[in-house]
Amino acid sequence: MRLSLRFVLPLMLILAGIAYAVAPLVDRLTLNWFVRDLDIRASLIANTIQEPLQERLSAGNKAKIGDFFARITQDERLYAVGYCASPTGKVLASRSLPQEINCAGLDRWEVTTDHLLQSTQGPLHVAVKAMSSEAAPGARLVLVHDMSFVTRRSEETKRYVFYLFMGLAAVVSLITVIIAQLSWRGWMAGMRALLRGEGLLRQPGAGMQSNLPEFKPIARDLQRLIQELEFDSRTRDEDQITWTPESLRAILRGELRGEDVIVVSNREPYIHQRRGDRIEVQRPASGLVTALEPIMRACSGTWIAHGSGSADHEVVDRHDRVAVPPDNPAYQILRVWLSAEEEAGYYYGFANEGVWPLCHIAHVRPTFRSGDWAQYVAVNRKFAKAVAGEAKTRNPIVLVQDYHFALLPNMIREQLPDAIIITFWHIPWPNPESFAICPWRDELIAGLLGSSILGFHTQFHCNNFVDTVDRFLEARVDRDSFTVSFRGKRTAVRRYPISIAWPPEKELVEKSVSDCRVGIRQINDLPPEHKLGIGVDRLDYTKGIIERFRAIERLLELNPQWVGRFSFIQVAAPTRAGIEEYQHHEAQVRAMATRINGRFHRQGPPPIVLRVEHHEPREVYEYFRAADLCFVSSLHDGMNLVAKEFVSARDDEHGVLILSQFTGAARELPEALIVNPYDADQCAAALQLSLTMPPEAQRDRMRLMRGLVAEFNVFRWAGRMLLDAAAMRRRSHLLDKSNRRDT
């Protein structure tokens, strides 16, 4: 209303001013018109009465002339008539002729254009017309008209002008108010859409074509400003925070107090296994669990995962929930049960034989079966139902993990339209051409675009994803803000490089480096001063273990002095053993280790020690601390946590990291020796360099890498995603509030 008054009041004042200025002009104009009319009328009357008057004058009968004049002046407008034979004569006139008019003063009315006489009877119009005859050559006729009707009409005209302007003001105000209201609403909707990041000033409910181009520059500026403010505050916040589990918890308490947080992953954070008549609780050695555990502890939320342990069924309540951690329960795991067919189709089939090789491009053909796809869809739906059932509010924060759940974000969105869904894709995202071979590529992308935020480890993977969307979906991609708008919803595509806990847990590094060196060499029958390399991976073809062994072989070919003086211990956790490709890969790895050992195992220890078994994190750290070098040769890896774990294990600031250029970690750890795992000669040279690198050079590199891992640790990874979610939540609260105010 105040906005409308701001338009209407000045408008009224301006129109009133115009009306005030225009009224006298109109008055003057109408007066001129009437004077001119009366002049013409007077000439007409003079011409008409000339003849009968002359006759009466020649007859010299003054009484008859008086009657004649009296008759003429019965006309409503003609007030008086007079006749002057000469300027010195006496005026012959009707009785009503004003005294101010006499024959001597008639010149005055002839020369002037102003014919008005203000008499006691009111305004009069005086016209003098020549009426010469032989008898009286200078005779003149005076015709006086009553002008009071002009005054009356002028008053009426003024009134009408006033009414006209009032009407005009009302109509113009109404139109202005309507247009102002509509424009204001359009602006508000546009600005809100912009704040939500839904694009540049779009009319509510309209399609993409209706962007208002004239507002685009403002919208762009505003959008940039918002991004800069967000970036500034985020970097300021992040720079000031030392990211620890405690600070993460504190932030969560502050930013997401009372929020309903749900994590969904395939793997559960605690697995209950039956060992004879005992139930054992296992914690999978996974970066994902390390990262998300503090969040769950702080928020007391729910973690939904596949119940895969042999005793999982036995420990849950009737709602399939179990409180964890077992010694100090802080949150719940909700276990989702899968049949053998579901697990085969969804997990082994579509996720690990299809999506995993599709995204890694490690020369293993993806296998896509429609049966597996059907199970993948069904299991995603099962988890979506579990999420919807678990949500305590209509807008929970849901953290969806990994490639097992590409369809889940959109399925959750269908049931909980206001949820904040953060999906993290832990593996690489390939280029559009490679991704295109998936028969269900559009469904996978559309599923992921149900997320509010979609996270990848590197900007490169973000770019690949956005390019893929651009290529295959009818979606709007904004490369300035890195957002995708699809079916009226917006997804922010963000880089969140995952990391490890820092500082590492005490028990992982409590054994000294020298004790680890001695202990590990003893366990593996290696001499005390033996040079040692370490590799720790799941036995997966993407990890480049074959290429690693080839490089070791090449090192020994080129630098035979290391034969018998250097060994490489490969710790390989069995994984996805049900898949043929993995069985084949394990056989290949074993055969290659045997062949190389046969070739160089003249006397002394073998060049390759292969340990295909799961180790506890403490044991893995002992290997890291005992080694002279760690070799990560992935053919393609989203991040690779092993590289960061090796760095965190080396508090002695020694040891060299050789790192594949195809890992996400290579972008963060340039002080490692970065190699192309397919180039055996280059890798062999890196091995040689590592084995001969002076301790000072090792320390300089290790210090820089440790600084980075300390700063960009896993708590920061989780914290950044949650701070972004909190910012989104605040924004949606604000919009809700202003929507309520408007309605």
- Which residues sit at the interface with ligand ADQ, rule CB under 6 A? 285, 287-288, 426-427, 498, 536-538, 571-573, 614-615, 620, 637-642, 645
Phi, psi of 315 (to 5 degrees): -100, -10
List the beta bridge partners of residue 53: none
Nearer to ligand ADQ, 536 or 563 (CB): 536
For residue 430, the minimal CB distance to ligand ADQ (Å) is 14
For residue 495, the minimal CB distance to ligand ADQ (Å) is 13
Q: Residue 335, Cα to own-chain centre: how many angstroms?
A: 34
Query: Position 251: which residue type?
Result: I
Select from 294, 243, 293 the least CA-distant residue to 265. 293
Cα separation values, 540 from 204, 306, 322, 574, 575, Å? 50, 22, 32, 8, 7
Give 545's Cβ-side CA count (13 Å radius): 29
For residue 498, the minimal CB distance to ligand ADQ (Å) is 4
d(CA 501, CA 215): 47
Q: Are 412 and 374 in contact (CB under 8 A)?
A: no
Helix, coil or strand: residue 507:
helix
Q: Are 637 and 542 in contact (CB under 8 A)?
A: yes
Residue at token pair 């701070």: 723
Phi, psi of 643 (to 5 degrees): -60, -45
Select from 645, 625, 623, 643 the least CA-distant residue to 633. 643
H/E segment holding residue 197: none
DSSP string, 405-440: GSSHHHHHHHH-TT-EEEEE--S----HHHHTTSTT
d(CA 80, CA 470): 95
Backbone Cα Rg of the chain: 49
For residue 257, the minimal CB distance to ligand ADQ (Å) is 28
Q: Are 520 and 623 in contact (CB under 8 A)?
A: yes
Q: Which residues fall within 8 angstroms of residue 453, CB to CB, at 6 or more apart?
A: 420, 421, 422, 423, 491, 492, 494, 721, 724, 725, 728
Beta strands in 662-724 (DSSP E): 673-675
d(CA 730, CA 724): 10
Query: Position 310: which residue type?
Result: S
Q: Are 665 and 712 in contact (CB under 8 A)?
A: no
Running DSSP on this structure, what letter comes out for residue 288? H
Give 215's Cβ-side CA count (13 Å radius): 20
Q: Which two tokens stand for residue 107?
A: 């010149």
For residue 492, the minimal CB distance to ligand ADQ (Å) is 19
Nearer to ligand ADQ, 349 or 497 (CB): 497
d(CA 601, CA 107): 146
Running DSSP on this structure, what letter comes out for residue 663? B
Cα separation values, 457 from 242, 494, 589, 637, 639, Å? 21, 9, 28, 10, 6
d(CA 421, CA 410): 9
Query: Position 693: which residue type?
Result: M
For residue 572, the minimal CB distance to ligand ADQ (Å) is 6
Helices 545-558 & 580-600 angle (0-180, nearest 10): 10
Q: Which two tokens stand for residue 330?
A: 């802080």
Select from 324, 437, 308, 317 the least CA-distant residue to 379. 308
Cα separation values, 628 from 619, 654, 666, Å? 16, 8, 19
Cα separation values, 578 from 345, 367, 575, 581, Å? 12, 15, 8, 9
